[in-house]
Amino acid sequence: MQPEDFPSQYTKIDSGNVAWFKQNYFNVDTASYGRNYAIIFRPSLTSPIHNGDDFTVVVTGLKKTDGTSAEISYQTHFFNIIPEVNDNLVDIKADKQTLSIRVGEAVNIPNVIAHYNGGDSFDVTPEVSLTSNSDAIHIDDQKVIGAKQGEAKVEIKYKGKITALKIDVYSVPEFADVQSHWAKQAIQWALEKRMAGGYSDNTFKPNQPVTEAEFLSMLFTLYKDSDAIQRIDTNKESISNKSWDDKFYRYAEFLNLELDKSVTDRTYRKHFITRNEVAKIIAGLGGKNFKTNEEAIQYLLVMGYATGKNGPSVQGFAGQDSLTRAEAIVFLKNLSEHDYIILGKPDNISELSDNEKNGWLADLTIRAKFTEEKNLELTGNLTEMANSTVTVDIYGITKLISSEKVMVDSNGNFKLDTGPIEASSLNIYVKIRSDYSYYIDVDQGKETTYSYAYTKLN
């Protein structure tokens, strides 16, 4: 039972009240979903779950209130509850009506929902049958595989009801002027994501300056499935749909980017975007509203979103310079690898802390870099822990690999460098008390930065 005095949100409790944490509840933030007194497991990187599947869940690394180790394990059985009566089935609908896949790529079909007269609806995806007469795709169980470039139609059937799924199969083009280019790998990545395309003369023109409209197109195509973009009503008529880039300026307007001149004057969209403008856009979408270009650039450098053109400094960023198509793609690829999230630009002015001005992270921010050589570089800022020690517990998938004591300086900064760690991914807990830790995970060859400022305990 939930006690009457249980806080409505974990983010509203007194972090200094140690007695509160001794209740038999997990200290997790579930403000956006589920119950605020429950721990919720949301598995990823698993195969599709089918009727009858069984899973064993093991939670390790826990401690009891007396400090001794604890472990939780349980069995989970998945099953479908589908009405047996057929005559009250109204229709079936897929979450998406269209899919775009590359040649050779295999994707799961969207979830299929059956709707009944009484108002009930059920996910019947594992029970549907798929058929197609197109040679552009192959069907394997509940997956669609791109066979050759073209369009295909898949019929989805369930108990006499049919819905259709349109498939666009595309191939990744090759351009002669990319093959020996320094950014070839990044350009290939962008082509696979259909963020950019070539020209009619079969060139990509990687060294050509990118316009503001082209940059927004690349950016918003990369993040088209983000929560922020999905929430935008693309039918909103604040900007008409007379130009290919109107949609992207609608996104910009909704996210408060203040590109008013480009909204009203389509010719201005063709100007070559500067690195200063890029810095303000990315900082703004990241939830910051800085007055100056210099502050926006410093924010990008501190967060690892940029390394600078001529060096890792505001001057080295070369804000007045334009950005080539190749440079824009490399920049966006770096954003995606640093778990950048689109939030939208706030109305209130943001200010850099003294710590950020000196090149360190903002308060309640932690960065983990796990190199290809399997060395961990952990940095962060926890102002509340200034002039004290934190414990860093490093786990593989489930096993504790090492526990390190790390000194936090007078500004709240800390740093930990390790030798090679035999794991492909790490789960890291920065423990500020015996009953509270900050969590961050990172894969080999990747870098992750987490900001906990939005869930700060107060």
Would you give per-residue pLDDT tens digits along the chain (458 residues)? Answer: 344 444 444 333 444 444 444 443 444 444 444 444 455 555 544 556 677 788 787 877 777 777 788 888 888 887 766 555 555 889 999 988 999 999 999 999 999 999 988 778 888 998 999 999 999 999 998 899 999 999 999 999 999 999 999 999 999 999 999 999 999 999 999 999 999 999 989 999 999 999 999 999 999 999 998 888 988 865 555 556 678 999 999 999 999 998 989 988 899 999 999 999 999 999 999 999 999 999 999 999 999 899 999 998 999 999 999 999 999 999 999 999 888 889 999 999 999 999 999 999 999 999 999 999 999 999 999 999 999 999 999 998 778 999 999 999 999 999 999 999 999 999 999 998 887 889 999 999 988 888 887 544 33
**CATH number for domain 360-455, candidates 2.60.40.1930, 3.20.20.220, 3.40.50.1370, 3.40.605.10:** 2.60.40.1930
Instruction: Yes or no: say if 445 and 370 are a contact pair by the CB < 8 Å rule.
Output: yes
Domain range annotation of the chain: 10-77, 89-170, 184-337, 360-455
Cα distances from 128 to residues 112, 124, 157, 249, in angstroms, run: 8, 7, 6, 39
User: For residue 122, what pLDDT is reported?
Assistant: 86
Same fold, 89-170 and 360-455: yes
Cα distances from 4 to residues 1, 7, 23, 334, in angstroms, run: 9, 9, 13, 47
> Residue 54: beta bridge partners?
77
User: For residue 454, what pLDDT is reported?
Assistant: 53
Render 260-302 in DSSP notation, one character per residue. HHHHH-GGGGGSBPBHHHHHHHHHHHTT---SSHHHHHHHHHH
Residues whose CB falls within 8 Å of the CB of residue 301, separated by 6 or more in sequence, listed in order: 307, 308, 312, 313, 314, 317, 359
Single out the residue of 146, 333, 354 nearest to residue 221, CA to CA. Answer: 333
The DSSP letter of residue 237 is T
Residues whose CB falls within 8 Å of the CB of residue 53, separated by 6 or more in sequence, listed in order: 77, 78
Residue 405: CB atoms within 10 A of its CB come to: 9
User: For residue 233, what pLDDT is reported?
Assistant: 60
Cα distances from 288 to residues 279, 280, 298, in angstroms, run: 11, 9, 12
Q: How far apart are CA 49 and CA 62, in angstroms?
A: 27
**CATH number for domain 89-170, candidates 3.40.390.30, 3.30.70.1900, 2.60.40.10, 2.60.120.260:** 2.60.40.10
Single out the residue of 192, 132, 188 nearest to residue 156, CA to CA. Answer: 132
